[in-house]
Amino acid sequence: MTTISLVAGNCGRGRGYEDGRFEFRSNLYLGKDFLASDLFNNNPFRRRANGCLSKALKGFENGNGRRFRVIARVKKGKKHDYPWPDNIDLDIKDGHLTYLSHFKPLAEKPKPVTLPFEKPLVDLEKKIIEVCRMADETGLDFTDQIGALENKYQQALKDLYTHLTPIQRLAIARHPNRPTALDHILNITEKWVELHGDRAGYDDPAMVTGIGTMDGKSYMFIGQQKGRNTKENIFRNFAMPTPHGYRKALRMMKYADHHGLPIITFVDTPGAYADLKSEELGQGEAIAHNLRTMFGLKVPIVTVVVGEGGSGGALAIACPNKLFMLENSVLYVASPEACAAILWKSSQAAPKAAEKLRITAQEHYKRKIADGIIPEPLGGAHADPVWTSQQIRFAITRAMDELTKMDTEELLRHRMLKFRSIGGFQEGKPVEPERKRNMKPSDASMLNAADIESDLEKLKKNILEAKVPSDPITDQAIEKLKQDVDNEVTRAFISMGLQEKLESLKLELSRASDNQTLNRNLKVKVDKLMQEFKQNLSRPGTYLGLKQKLEKLSMVSRLIEQKEKGEKLKAEVNQKIPSEIKEKLEQLQTAQANLSKGDPLDEDLVAEAVKAKKELIEVLKSANLEIVGVAKRKAAAELQEKIVNVKKEIDGEIERVIDVAGLHGKIEELKAEMAIDSSSPKVEKLQAEIKEEIRTSLDDTALKQKVENLRREFATSSEEVIDDKVIAENGRW
């Protein structure tokens, strides 16, 4: 195919020749009839060196008698314009019109991909390959060994694929080599032509549509198409359709409904594409329009879930009379990773979420969402794509034979009743008008900072003031704290996805004998698991309740340890102090009490006290205890009085700020709201506004200084004033 462009004229820049002729290159275009006789008769053009053809025209002269010259450049075009070939066979009997589709056979066979749970099978495969290699190299007969290994492999494969967990089935559904919608369509149809475009300016490659025949009957096929490699996945947008794709599917549904073609849809998408452009183009409206339209179509509809079906993006082409799912396909409202991130704040809990979501074909069939399960070969659909496609064809054919016998009214009612029967309801049971649900279980046991500080202070007080080594109330509180920590740790292991590893280690530890030391490998596993747990725990903003309780438990353990050491040291000192010194110390305490009442000071008693002090120091030194310093404590009553005075001063300053800022109205409003619901957002908002206005208006520099001085004074009164720093060998006094 060639094209010729002609230009002529005398109104532009030109070039003169010796014979008086001019050649002009202007934008005056000549029509077909102007040179028809010359172009196709005897080729009157003269070829020039630059590839152009030129001819002087008769009858066209300017005022000076000079003629025009036409310049024609011949351009070589494409062999044909895509997608139409040069010669189209109008009498095609079978096969596929490949020039209408971007889907071509792969130049290279896809590389095998091993899923994490398939590693035991890989080890057996390596052993079989190694034995075969040895047989080839040595020439020995290893038939029995190879047969035994192959039988073992087949048995392991069967055991593995008959006891798959939901998260493992999800991994198979997402397998890179899993057959796509077009793979199945090409395997089950005798003739196939792909149709394109939404007739609104775009053709979404993530949604494929077309007409195909099975057993001489025509069907409309619609499916979501994944890529078979990275390049195709990018082109297909990872099977996430845009609004153009759903409107393209809608156009084909209406076309099929108009011409009476049964509809077959293949679902394989993680969900509709949720970018900004798609939302601007009406992603939600396009899906909703498809849902409404599918329930009114007057032709049979059969849907097959061949991979994963994500949320409304899958449902937009999955409102059928019959829904089938491949054995290892999944259908969900939210992916397990997204669900785990919402509920447990970590995508590591995806296995637990997959189990709770009931995403597998078996669960959907049990709940009558799916009408049947199409079997897959051991190893998944990618192990034998053709066999899997034929199983899909058998299921579709049986369903269509049943549905085509129904008239229009029966067909529409059958589709409506299928969806109306999903789920359940209860009658006669009262419904709570407002019910608060805690979506995150770990928050239920997570205390706020004030509660933890209060509990910690109570435990401190009980431990330090206990007269006996073991106090039942304190022991009960500590035991409860340990149980809470154990429960939090268990939940943390589950949310981190480490529960299986933990159970496996527990099983190995239980098998080891009690008197046998742990072997090196088991120790390495334990250390690795704890390191992974601590690494996840150390991430900021996660597992706050567990972290707070662990700090609280650590503080209580240190207090108990200090208490036990103090009691032990006190008992040792009391044993080594002579009874005479004890009597003198008792007299000194009595004199101190009398002195506080106003009695005169006895100088002889003072001398006795100094002497008793020196004797006590000698006794302590003989017990291998060093004197670090002498404790000087202020009267508790005086310190308490200062604390009360500072508190009154702070309260008075806050009251003054409330009066000046006019916050009484807001405070009354806050009280009224708290009486209705203390946890409402409005209460939190009012509290924040009142605190912010008080903080802004309050000049707290002087108050902060007083509180700091009081804190130092209290610390000084509760600590020892050290005269000389002496290192003790067995203890400190």
Give the pLDDT of residue 119.
83
User: Which residues are bridge partners to 235 per DSSP?
Assistant: none
Give the pLDDT of residue 716.
59
**What sign does the CA torsion over 650, 656, 659, 660 have?**
negative
CATH, range 177-421: 3.90.226.10
Give the pLDDT of residue 249.
96
- The first and second tokens of residue 61, run together, are 């002269």
Which DSSP state fits 382?
G
- The first and second tokens of residue 508, run together, are 């190995």
Give the pLDDT of residue 21.
44
Give the pLDDT of residue 609.
67
Give the pLDDT of residue 717.
54
* DSSP codes, 496-553: TT-HHHHHHHHHHHHHS-TTSPPPHHHHHHHHHHHHHHHHHHTSTTSSHHHHHHHHHH
Outline where 331-448 has alpha helix (H): 336-343, 350-357, 361-366, 385-403, 408-420, 441-444
Give the pLDDT of residue 42.
46
Query: What average pLDDT values come out for the chain (733 residues) when binned by 10 residues?
Result: 43 44 42 42 48 51 55 52 59 68 78 85 84 83 83 84 90 93 93 90 92 94 93 92 95 96 96 92 94 95 94 93 95 92 86 92 92 92 93 95 93 93 75 56 45 58 56 69 80 79 77 58 80 79 74 77 75 71 70 61 66 70 60 54 76 78 79 76 80 74 73 56 36 41
- The first and second tokens of residue 690, run together, are 């009142």
**What is the distance between the alpha carbons of residues 342 and 346, in angstroms, rounded to a whole number?**
8
- CA triplet 630, 609, 567: central angle to 5 degrees? 50
Give the pLDDT of residue 166.
92
Give the pLDDT of residue 605.
65
**What is the distance between the alpha carbons of residues 529 and 19, in angstroms, rounded to a whole number?**
97
Give the pLDDT of residue 394.
95
The whole-chain average pLDDT of the chain stands at: 76
Pairing status of strand 301-310 against strand 322-326: parallel
Give the pLDDT of residue 5.
43
User: Which residues are bridge partners to 70 per DSSP?
Assistant: 55
Asked whether 52 and 72 are in contact (CB, 8 A), the reply is: yes
Which DSSP state fits 237?
G
Domain boundaries, the chain: 118-163, 177-421, 476-570, 577-623, 634-717
Asked whether 449 and 545 are in contact (CB, 8 A), the reply is: no
How many Cα atoms are found within 13 Å in the side-chain-facing hemisphere of 174? 15
3-state secondary structure of 629: strand
Give the pLDDT of residue 49.
47
Element (H, E) at 222: strand 217-224
| Burial of 711: CB neighbours in 10 Å, binned 0-12, 13-18, 19+ | exposed
Asked whether 444 and 438 are in contact (CB, 8 A), the reply is: yes
